[in-house]
Amino acid sequence: MQQGVWIRFSVNGENIKAGSPFAWRSFVGENPEVPLKGWRVEGESSHRNPMPSFLPVKDKYGVVACVAYFGTYTITDDVMYISLQEPTHPLIWNAQQ
């Protein structure tokens, strides 16, 4: 079984305004941003998963709000498919990330 990771999503307002189909920004750990057309989630959610997150200032990607899911994922045709898992470590997200 794959080890779960925190996957953060935020809206890509610039792409939406430009009419791009890549309306979502996703971030997995320290990996670069992955633009997505959509995302799907399967599994049972809990009070710990998903986690909404907000920052008082933009992070290095310009994000101030996101939703984060813990689990494994695959990407097919620019859509991310997430299988939820119980979080094994807390979500850490700050402006330096």
Does the pLDDT at position 94 exceed 80?
Answer: no
The angle subtended at Cα 96 by Cα 4 and Cα 39, nearest 5°, is 40
Mean pLDDT of the chain: 88
CA 84/CA 70 separation, integer angstroms:
6
What was the pLDDT predicted at 96?
44
What was the pLDDT predicted at 62?
78
**pLDDT grade for 32, boundaries at 50, 70 and 90:** confident
- The position carrying tokens 């999503």 is 9
Structure tokens at 90: 């807390």
What was the pLDDT predicted at 95?
45
Mean pLDDT of 14-34: 90
Mean pLDDT of 19-36: 90
What was the pLDDT predicted at 71?
95
Does the pLDDT at position 52 exceed 70?
Answer: yes
Contacts of 47 (CB under 8 A, 6+ apart): none
